[in-house]
Amino acid sequence: MSDLMVAAFSICGILALISAGMPVAISLGILSFIGVAYIKGSFDIAGMLLAQAAADCVNGYIFGVIPLFVLMGMVVSVSGIGKDTFDVANRAFKNIRGGLGIATVVANAIFAAVTGVSIASAAVFSKVAVPEMVRLGHTKRFSVGVVTGSSVLGMLIPPSLLLILFGILTETSIGDLFLGGIGPGILLSGMYCLGILIMAYQFPGHVGDTRNKLESGSDDANLSLGRSAWKLVPIISLIFLVLGGIYSGWFTPTESGAAGALGALVIAIAKRKLSWQKLWTVLLETGNVTVTILFLFFAANMYSRMLALSGLTGFVGQFISESGMGMYPVLILYLFIILLMGMILDSASIMMIIVPLLYPVMKDFGIDFVWWGILTLLAIEVGLLTPPLGMAVFVVQSSLDDQTISVTDIFVGTMPFVLMMVLLIALIVLFPSITLVFV
């Protein structure tokens, strides 16, 4: 069997094992190890490469950014900042038809600027926003659709854990990737808000009663917008600390993660939201997520070495060159493959499998890696909203107190937002400046 066939069978085996439920890192690591051993004819060589891959992941300074941003996101999730943000946004848009949906999008966008994880946004706002939207007359499908659809902003608006992963995989500046996510993040938020307005006026049966008025006599009703806006001070301060530190040059991404984690801890303690039990839970979850991600990188490093040794990446590049396909046909095919993979695989799996395989090809085309990274992220995030996997959909469903809302209801409610994301991908392909305007 040729080296190319070994690599091809390894990739097919990886996809099969992941689809069968085996963890991504184990699937990548085991089959990459076996592939290297077969190509080199020695398990000793494969073992040495495996050890080197693990050492590279442990010793790399840049990898310190992962636990710090994860810790910040976890602390923010338990500090009540999400609810405060939603309350202020709700008050600001309460007199607009569909205003509660717009408030959810705006709150998710602000919350995304400090969490960096779509799943965290989905879990928080399914508890905060959905019950309020249903109580005020919105349909259940619309309510869960808004929350699930806008949760993807958590990965697009910086800081973003997936952009950090992409930056490490492709050796692209994480700061530049963060800057590249600002324009598309703002544009997608605006598209969502406009889409909600259109649905509220043109499809009132789907949206439901969009009158968004606080009950008279409640504490919130007697609180002015100006006074309630003070609730945003902690999250705005944290955004300026983290992103301002990076963009001003005061902090490296790793240092900004440390500053952000400390800032989030101070805010949570000041708000009296962080008990010893919650702190222990946050630390455990941070450790679990961090180890999982680092294990993924370690396995992906081995996978990249297997691809290089097999010559598959060179073969793909040569095939594309000889076929006469230009950059845009290859890019469109690449995005289409990601969309298909998103129906059966999670975000990290897709990025770890497809990016190392196409990296040399895209490098030969001389494309801007910030542009490519944002397109990759958006295509992957569509997979969070599409069946049958739709991870964000299942997170929302499991977080809801109302178990009469089915997974099908969430998928149906999310479809308008999926279409808007696909439209944004097309716009960014046609107008790369959308991602480069702040870089």
The total of structural domains in the chain comes to 1
**The pLDDT value given to residue 369:** 93
Range of the domain at 62: 3-436
Mean residue pLDDT across the chain: 82
**The pLDDT value given to residue 130:** 86
For CA atoms 298, 302, 304, 305, the dihedral sign is: positive
Type of residue found at 337: I
Highest mean pLDDT of the ranges 7-11, 84-88, 141-145, 354-358: 141-145
**The pLDDT value given to residue 234:** 83
Q: 5-14, 143-152, 206-215, 392-401: which range is least confident on average?
A: 206-215
**Token duo for residue 65:** 């950014």
Mean pLDDT along residues 337-354: 79
Predicted confidence (pLDDT) per residue in 242-271, tens digit: 888 877 878 887 888 888 889 889 988 888
Mean pLDDT along residues 22-38: 84
**The pLDDT value given to residue 195:** 94
pTM: 0.81
Check whether 278 has a pLDDT greater than 60.
yes
**The pLDDT value given to residue 228:** 66
Q: 161, 136 in Cβ contact below 8 A? A: no
Mean pLDDT along residues 6-25: 80
**The pLDDT value given to residue 396:** 81
Predicted confidence (pLDDT) per residue in 109-133, tens digit: 888 877 777 777 777 788 888 888 8
Mean pLDDT along residues 357-384: 89
CA distances from 24 to 19, 165, 224, 300 (A): 9, 15, 49, 10
CA distances from 380 to 40, 354, 412 (A): 34, 11, 19
Q: Any residues with CB less than 8 A from the CB of 271 and at least 6 apart, and which? A: 79, 80, 234
**The pLDDT value given to residue 217:** 37
**The pLDDT value given to residue 61:** 67
Q: 107-111, 295-299, 363-367: which range is least confident on average?
A: 295-299
Output 265 or 55, whichever has higher pLDDT: 265
